[in-house]
Amino acid sequence: MRFDARHIPLQRLLLILAGLWILASATGEAAAKDWNTYNIGGRSYVSDENVAKFYQFQRFAKEGNDRIFQHPSLVMTWRVGSQSIYVNNIKFNLSFPVIENGGKAMLSTVDLAKLVDPVVRPSYIKKPINFDTVVIDAGHGAHDSGAKGVMGYEKNYALDMALRVEKELKARGFKTLLTRRTDVFLTLGQRVAIANGQRNAIFVSLHFNSSGSRTAEGIETYALAPQGTRSTDGSSPWSSPLNGNTRDAENIALATSVHAHAIHELKSVDRGIKRARFNVLRGINKPAILFEGGFITHPTEGKLIHDEAHRQRIAEAIANAIVKFRTAVGSKR
């Protein structure tokens, strides 16, 4: 029987994000002796069986090219040849595809360390930031209007969203700082400087998407690409570490929480958690993500985003996600 991750209720996903999934084997750091690594084509990999054993999944199944790792509160699926995996039906884009070797499905150790581990057990992230402030960045502004949608401009939707997220976060006890509160232009460098000027903060950049095709729709969330990996769009790897790479684990955990809440609460199309090297992400030394809240060029989604009740629901989802992220990584105020 094929296990269908769509039947996992939201509460279970949130349990994981809250770091309540205490693994029996997880007594501390993932010791090197627990991992048997393979060098394949100059890259380091771990096997499906090793992952199943290390995290003590109760069920591990091979179904053709698919691998299913199952725990009462978590289902992860891989597919040989695919560059995405699913955790509780949320889509994650890997830095490298899952490959096959001697009947085993192999995951790169970069994706193990930079994606699977912080997503599956966020409470093990080392020295997470203790934040009480959220820097909220409304994308674009003034002459930079961003995407032009079926009903309006990205810059206006992004600013409205930022103000709504601020209100929701304040109601949940956070301090907030907006990079802009009006229709003004800021360089990307200015946005980075505002974030880096805060001590105990995380950074969330808010955007809406566009496409010439008009059929593209859904939500996607970006975290900085790890050192030496391609972006999801295929841009070449950067060999030198970036400011933002000091927060790789927190970046992906924050992206997971925000993306999962948005997908579940809004029932939007899931375009996945992606990797990029956007200026705002690479320059910031705090946990940072860039959220694309839907396509304003899509005839239906564009109208939905124009509706302020919908933007309010997105804002509430983001605020709920930030509360969950703080709990999940065990950060204290």
The residues binding Zn ion (CB under 5 A) are 139, 146, 207
CA 85 vs. chain centroid, Å, equals: 13
Least distance to Zn ion from the beta carbon of 154, Å? 5
71/80 Cα distance (integer angstroms): 21
Based on CB atoms, which residue is closest to Zn ion, 206 or 253? Answer: 206
- SS in 3 state form for 271-309? EEEEEECCHHHHHCCCCEEEEEEEECCCHHHHHHHHCHH
Least distance to Zn ion from the beta carbon of 298, Å? 15
Least distance to Zn ion from the beta carbon of 148, Å? 11
Beta strands 38-40 and 43-47, pairing class? antiparallel
Based on CB atoms, which residue is closest to Zn ion, 194 or 290? Answer: 290
Based on CB atoms, which residue is closest to Zn ion, 141 or 146? Answer: 146
Based on CB atoms, which residue is closest to Zn ion, 19 or 146? Answer: 146
333/131 Cα distance (integer angstroms): 6
Based on CB atoms, which residue is closest to Zn ion, 122 or 139? Answer: 139
Q: Which two tokens stand for residue 323?
A: 């509360």
Least distance to Zn ion from the beta carbon of 146, Å? 4
Q: Which two tokens stand for residue 76?
A: 């992860």
Based on CB atoms, which residue is closest to Zn ion, 128 or 139? Answer: 139
Least distance to Zn ion from the beta carbon of 29, Å? 39
Least distance to Zn ion from the beta carbon of 138, Å? 10
Phi/psi at 205 (5° precision)? -100, 130
Least distance to Zn ion from the beta carbon of 202, Å? 19
C-alpha angle 156-215-160 in degrees, rounded to nearest 5: 15
How would you class 23 by CB atoms within 10 Å of its CB: exposed for 0-12, middle for 13-18, buried for 19 or more?
middle
Indicate the DSSP class of residue 218: -
Least distance to Zn ion from the beta carbon of 256, Å? 21
Based on CB atoms, which residue is closest to Zn ion, 207 or 264? Answer: 207
**DSSP letters of 89-124?**
TEEEE-SS--EEETTEEEEEHHHIIIIIHHHH-GGG
Q: Which residues contact 49 (CB under 8 A, 6 or more apart)?
A: 60, 104
Least distance to Zn ion from the beta carbon of 161, Å? 12
Torsion sign, CA atoms 207, 270, 72, 7: positive
Based on CB atoms, which residue is closest to Zn ion, 105 or 224? Answer: 224
- Distance set, CA 84 to CA 271, 274, 282 (Å): 11, 10, 23
Based on CB atoms, which residue is closest to Zn ion, 139 or 272? Answer: 139
In the bound state, the residue with its beta carbon closest to Zn ion is 207
